[in-house]
Every structure is written in structure tokens, then in C-alpha cells.
């Protein structure tokens, strides 16, 4: 397994150092939602969700409800549990040469400042990647064409976590697989449960909404 760790480290250093340029130094913290940008992203997401729920049809409302439910449980339950169980140090903790970017517009952040918060020390899996790929999977299951903009966004956010020096490539890969897999399993599991419970306990509702 040593060669896997070596490959992971080399890929990290390639993205973190070889791809470095001033534009990415500004863009990648933005893609990660650092320094208050996350609040703006969340505000836009909430506004879009409310609009879809209020003005959309039944399909749109179900998509919004499932996306909120799945992303919330994926982040708070699965990712945090696995992350603390694995307890893998972040790259900037173990690699002195890692470049760390965490503040939009200010570029480099000393690793000591990033590591000062103990919660920032553990790395596997990437919650950003897991949440974005979970949302991408839910949107895809309801609206196939959403993949054209959701997948590039998920990939860009995942790349930013490596570029910013806070995740190894395997962290974001694990997060992507975990998020997409959990979302697919949750949607199809709820579908099966509704077909079984709905027919027995809510026959009129099930007749109107069989899927």
C-alpha cells in the first residue's frame, strides 16, 4: 500500500504546486467557499430551493426535499463519523512543502494558522466533495440534464480542496464515491419504502404519486 500513498502524495503535489498560478490562488478559495463566500453560496442555494419548492411542480419539490435531507445526513452523519474514525491528517499537517490557501484575496495561509483549529486537522473523506456529489446525484436522478452544470461544479470544488492544500486526491475521490453512492442508495431506498408503505397506509396518495 506504500505505492498508493506515494501516488496520492505525488498527485497532491502536482495539483498543489505544479498547477499554481495567481488566478487559481484567487479562484480556488472561492470554489471552496472560504472567507464568507460559503455564506453567499448557501444563500443562493436556499433562495433557489425556496423558489423551486414554491413555484415548481411535485417533481421539483421532491427533488429539493430529498437533496436537503440527503446532503444534511451525509455531512453530519456519514462524513463526520468516518472522518473521525479514520483520523487521517490533512496534507498541510504532514507535508512541510504544502501550499495552503484558505482566505479569498489573501492567498497563502501559514500552515500553523490552519492547523490551530483542531477540527481542521482530519482529512478523509472530503465533506465538500461528498456533499457536492450527493447533490449532483439527486439532481441527476430527477433531472438528467442537470449533470451538465452540477458535475463540473462538483469537480471544480473537489479540485479546489486539493489545490488549497487541505485534502489529498484520495480524500476527494472517497468523498465523491461516498456522496454519490449514499444519495443513490437513499433515493432508491425511499422509493422502495414508499411503494411498500404507501400502498398499504396511504393508498389514495400513492395512487396520485406512485413514484
| Full pLDDT tens readout for the chain, 211 residues | 677 778 888 889 899 888 888 888 888 888 887 655 555 566 666 666 676 667 667 777 888 888 888 888 887 788 888 888 888 888 888 887 787 765 544 455 555 555 444 446 778 899 889 999 999 999 998 888 888 989 999 999 999 999 988 899 999 999 999 999 999 998 888 777 767 665 655 565 555 565 6
Q: What angle do CA 17, 22, 26 make, to 5 degrees?
A: 100
* Burial status of residue 93 (CB atoms within 10 A of its CB: 0-12, 13-18, 19 or more): middle
Q: Is 101 helix (H, G, I), strand (E, B) or coil?
A: strand
Tell me if the pTM is above 0.85: no
Q: How far is CA 210 from the centre of its chain?
A: 30
- pLDDT for 45 equals 64
- pLDDT for 118 equals 41
Task: For the chain, count helices (H), then strands (E).
Answer: 11, 2
What the block records as the C-alpha cell of 43 is 444563500
Q: Is 95 helix (H, G, I), strand (E, B) or coil?
A: coil
* Phi and psi angles of residue 132, each rounded to the nearest 5 degrees, phi first: -65, -40
Cβ neighbour number for residue 101 with a 10 Å cutoff: 25
- pLDDT for 104 equals 42
* Burial status of residue 15 (CB atoms within 10 A of its CB: 0-12, 13-18, 19 or more): buried
Cβ neighbour number for residue 167 with a 10 Å cutoff: 31
- pLDDT for 117 equals 45
Distance CA 138, CA 70 (A): 8
- pLDDT for 48 equals 67
Distance CA 201, CA 198 (A): 5
- pLDDT for 164 equals 87
Residue written as cell 486537522? 121
Q: Is 89 helix (H, G, I), strand (E, B) or coil?
A: strand
- pLDDT for 119 equals 47
Amino acid at each position: 500500500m506504500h505505492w498508493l500513498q506515494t501516488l496520492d502524495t505525488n498527485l497532491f503535489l502536482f495539483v498543489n504546486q505544479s498547477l499554481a498560478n495567481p488566478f487559481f490562488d484567487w479562484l480556488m478559495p472561492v470554489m471552496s467557499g472560504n472567507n464568507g463566500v460559503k455564506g453567499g453560496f448557501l444563500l443562493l442555494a436556499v433562495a433557489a430551493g425556496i423558489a423551486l419548492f414554491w413555484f415548481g411542480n411535485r417533481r421539483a419539490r421532491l427533488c429539493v426535499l430529498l437533496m436537503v435531507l440527503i446532503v444534511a445526513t451525509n455531512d453530519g452523519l456519514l462524513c463526520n463519523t468516518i472522518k473521525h474514525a479514520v483520523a487521517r491528517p490533512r496534507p498541510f499537517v504532514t507535508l512541510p512543502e504544502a501550499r495552503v490557501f484558505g482566505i479569498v484575496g489573501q492567498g497563502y495561509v501559514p500552515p500553523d494558522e490552519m492547523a490551530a483549529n483542531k477540527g481542521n486537522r482530519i482529512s478523509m473523506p472530503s465533506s465538500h466533495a461528498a456533499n457536492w456529489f450527493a447533490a449532483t446525484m439527486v439532481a441527476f436522478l430527477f433531472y438528467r440534464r442537470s449533470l451538465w452544470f452540477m458535475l463540473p461544479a462538483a469537480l471544480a470544488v473537489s479540485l479546489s480542496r486539493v489545490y488549497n492544500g487541505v485534502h489529498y486526491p484520495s480524500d476527494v475521490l472517497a468523498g465523491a464515491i461516498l456522496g454519490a453512492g449514499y444519495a443513490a442508495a437513499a433515493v432508491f431506498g425511499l422509493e422502495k419504502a414508499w411503494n411498500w408503505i404507501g400502498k398499504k397506509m396511504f393508498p389514495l396518495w400513492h395512487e396520485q404519486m406512485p413514484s
